A and B are shown apart, each in its own frame.
Chain A
Amino acid sequence: MPITPQRLALTAATATAVFAALALTAGSGRAQPRTDLVVGMQLEPPHLDPTAGAAGAIKEVTYANLFEPLLRVDGDGRLVPGLAERWSVSEDGLTYRFSLRPHAKFHDGTTADSADVKFTLDRARAADSVNAQKAYFAPIATVETPDPQTVVVTLSRPDGLFLFHMASGDAVIVAPESAATNKQKPVGTGPFRFERWVAGDRVVLARNPDYDGPAPRIDRVSFRFISDPAAQVAALKAGDVDAFTLFSTYEALPEFRNDPAFAVTVGTTEGETILSTNNARKPFDDVRVRRAMAHAIDRGTLIEGVLYGNGVAIGSHFPPHRQGYVDLTGMYPYDPAKARALLAEAGYPNGFDTTLALPPPPYARRGGELVAAMLAEVGIRARIEPMEWAAWLEKVFKGKDYDLTMIAHTEPLDIDIYARPDYYFNYRSARFTALNDELNRTQDQARRDALYGEEQRVLAEDAVNGFLFMLPSVTVQKAGLTGLWVNRPVQANDVTAAAWK
């Protein structure tokens, strides 16, 4: 076949086209980072309005993603700008001035301005408020709005935790137009907006194109609810979920750690796990009995048995990673003989019978069984009463009708619950209440830390509850996923910084 110029041109053109096509394929074949994300959670939220419910799952879906408070807590526990870009506090600690982001908008297109902030704060502290943390808003005297971008909040008494509380999920800013329907169709100011909720399965959020802050790298995030531990492991292995937060099937962790396709992080939470004790009920009204119980519990074994070693012991109601922590874990070393002696001294040489109410989480059911076995060693025969959440909240938490129960208190910096006279511990201490009052008046950080230390000491000396361990924040995620929180200073699955490598 003779080589003609036409044929040569044709060949060249074909070759060029083929090369171009190859180049194109290669270009598109170079792995585009994924822009979607599936996060596994154990519990499904009852609804999606964090200003109207205590369930942690509500905040885990919406905090920082869909709704924004004035200030936010970041993954390291620091206060960072939320809807307010700047804030200042007066010398006397009574006046707070917040400057809002000028172009902030709600997902329905309405502007987010000082009127919305005033509406939110007034709604949360109103007499008919259903806010789960109504006490956070109690110090507020007035909320003024000198201009659309400025909010001035005046307190009736100093509150050292006010900013911290205003950064909680309970204080997210909502609009009067949508506040009533936020439970089913939440409308916030965050970088993600609500897309759909498949009941019993997942909530899907999509990137908000009108967001006035830095855009997230993820386009769409699904929160999938999987309560069964074996199914959680299976979902991770099958790739159905990209990350599982607050993972509690601790015995499966070695397997994920040894698999290069996964990354495991173990961080801190604010969950002080305690053996709550009804201080008003006999024989627990006797401090010797409570101290005997403290000596009877081997925290090391408990942490190994329940958390497979992924947790730290506490000696009072305060997390070790927080400023102001005092290590009191040595106050009541594991000593069954001493426990028996203390019981005999209190008039119970043969121990006594009692009940141990256990809510559903695995740490409580498993831990409770171990605690009961340890108490039995010194003669305290605790009958286990497994309970559903609703029954536990009604009977134990609200009704205060219980002897012992096991629960993690996950609200951050919640040592002040011991100053509440009507709280379910039935603990009353003039010493503690005085310390707490002083703490509320104090702005100076060094003095605050000292007061926190004193409070911890009082609780440990009184052995109010059995102080057991901190619940860990365990995340199992696919290798290549970055930007999820390791620690959990507030209840949140903040995906605004999540990205695929």
Chain B
Amino acid sequence: MTRRSPWPVSLWLGAALTALLVALALASFLWTPYPAEQVRVLARLKPPSAAHWLGTDHFGRDVLSMIMVGARNSLAVGAAAVGLGLLGGVPLGLLAAGLGRWGDEVLARLGDLVFAFPSVLTAILLTAVLGAGAVNVVLALALFNAAVLARVTRGAALAAWRRPFVGAALALGRGPLSVTLVHVLPNIAGIVVVQATVLFAVAIVNEAALSYLGLGIQPPSPSWGKMLGDAQTYLFTAPLQAVFPGLAIALAVMGLTMLGDGLRDWLDPRHRSSGVL
């Protein structure tokens, strides 16, 4: 093993932004400035003030509180979608690489089927059929994630199978399952983790897109996408409404993407970019 180089800038920044996001979400369990669902119509569409740091929305709800609880919802959907994707995709990818030949072929074509449609479209289709709501959004996004992760795992695992130490292990009489778990999986874990981080960011964008369309997380539970969708109506009358949920989505996605990029650079020095963003 080569000595790991110091953390690249993108990893620092990405980790910091992601930590902030997680902290915001965790804090929302203990404290929010106001109950996020508390409606006060007469105090609606207020700009930021000492009482409401990020202002109030069209029903007079506190925007900061909604963004905090929204972070929790976004993270939960992202984590569930990526977690399920890992559970489904990684074993399938390993299986495809281990089976080779027609087994590999069948799994690859199944993956193509999922990739034939953009992930948001698949998710819209599935929520249209199964009904709107957080659970169905998770299922739809997990399906896409599983396909991506299966493909990435398979590619990496195939490369690992060709390496000398795997051949040596096989020659020593180890079975394919044991070789997969002991030698292949640890060698591809880095690649899978990087991919999962990027998919996490994609899941947050897709959840926001679905909620924006009214198919995702349902009110009264706040969601960044829904907040942005509501704000669209007020672009002329209260343009600030769109700024904070938009900023939240942008920062969360930027943080996770940079974290993924940074992790990749750090784990695999051949991919190293210049170190600047």
Q: Which residues of A contact B (CB under 8 A)?
A: 228-230, 233-234, 249, 251-252, 255, 301, 304-305, 362, 365-366, 369-370, 372-373, 376, 383-386
Q: Is B219 an interface residue (CB 8 A)?
A: yes
Partner of A230, one of B37, B39, B132, B233: B233
> In the complex the two chains form, is A251's CB within 8 Å of B220's CB?
no
Top-4 shortest CB links A-B: A305-B41, A386-B214, A230-B235, A229-B233
- The answer to whether the Cβ of B42 comes within 8 Å of any Cβ in the partner chain is yes
Q: In the bound complex, do residue B39 and residue A255 qualify as a contact, i.e. CB atoms below 8 Å apart?
A: no
Give the A-B pair count, Cβ closer than 8 A: 56
B232 touches A230 (CB 8 A): yes
Task: Tell me, rounded to whole Å, the shortest Cβ–Cβ distance linking B131 to chain A.
Answer: 7
Q: Which residues of B contact A252 (CB under 8 A)?
A: 236-237
Beyond A251-B233, A255-B237, list 17 extra A-B contacts (CB 8 Å): A228-B232, A249-B233, A252-B237, A255-B236, A301-B39, A305-B39, A305-B44, A305-B58, A305-B59, A370-B59, A373-B39, A373-B59, A376-B37, A384-B218, A385-B218, A386-B132, A386-B214
CB within 8 Å for A230 and B236 given contacts A251-B58, A305-B59, A373-B220: yes
Kindly list chain A residues whose C-beta atoms are within 8 Å of the C-beta of B236: 230, 233-234, 252, 255
Instruction: Determine the distance from Cα of A461 to Cα of B238 in the docked complex, in whole angstroms.
Output: 42
Name B215's closest neighbour in chain A (CB-CB).
A386
B238: chain A residues at CB < 8 Å are: 251
Contact A304–B41 (Cβ < 8 Å): yes
- Residues from chain B with a CB closer than 8 A to the CB of A304 are 41-42
CB neighbours (8 Å) of A369 from chain B are 59, 219-220
Once the chains are docked, how many angstroms separate the CA of A255 from the CA of B232? 17
Q: Is B45 an interface residue (CB 8 A)?
A: yes
Smallest beta-carbon distance B127→chain A, Å:
10
| Residue pair B45, A251 in contact (C-beta under 8 Å) | yes
Q: In the bound complex, how far is the Cα of B168 from the Cα of A402, in angstroms?
A: 65
- Flag whether B161 is at the interface (Cβ < 8 A): no
With contacts A230-B233, A230-B236, A234-B236 taken as known, whether A384 is within 8 angstroms of B219 at the C-beta atoms is: yes
CA distance in complex: A385, B131 (Å): 8
Interface residues of B, count at CB 8 A:
22
Assess whether B234 is interfacial by the CB under 8 Å rule. Answer: yes
**Cβ of B215: which chain A residues have Cβ within 8 Å of it?**
386
Q: In the assembly, what is the distance between CA of A384 and CA of B131, in Å? A: 11
Judge whether A301 and B41 touch: CB under 8 Å: yes
Chain B residue with the shortest CB-CB distance to A376: B220
| Chain B residues within an 8 Å CB radius of A366 | 58
Measured between alpha carbons, how far is A301 from B37 in the docked complex, in Å? 16
Residues of B within 8 A of A228 (CB): 232
Asked if B220 and A383 sit within 8 Å, CB to CB, the answer is no
21 chain-A/chain-B pairs, Cβ below 8 angstroms:
A228-B232, A229-B232, A233-B236, A234-B236, A251-B233, A251-B238, A255-B236, A255-B237, A304-B41, A305-B59, A369-B219, A370-B39, A370-B41, A372-B220, A373-B39, A373-B220, A376-B37, A376-B220, A384-B219, A385-B132, A386-B218
Instruction: Select from chain B the residue with minimum beta-carbon distance to A252.
Output: B237
- Within the complex, what minimum Cβ distance (angstroms) separates A201 from chain B? 21
A301 to B218, CA, bound (A): 22
Interface centre among B45, B218, B233 (most CB of A within 10 A): B233
Chain B 228-269 against A: per-residue CB contact (8 Å), 1 yes, 0 no? 000011111110000000000000000000000000000000
Q: For residues 48 through 106 of chain B, which have their beta carbon under 8 Å from a beta carbon of chain A?
A: 58-59
A301 to B38, CA, bound (A): 13
User: Which of chain B's residues have a CB closer than 8 A to the CB of A376?
Assistant: 37, 220
Cα(A365)–Cα(B59), bound, Å? 13
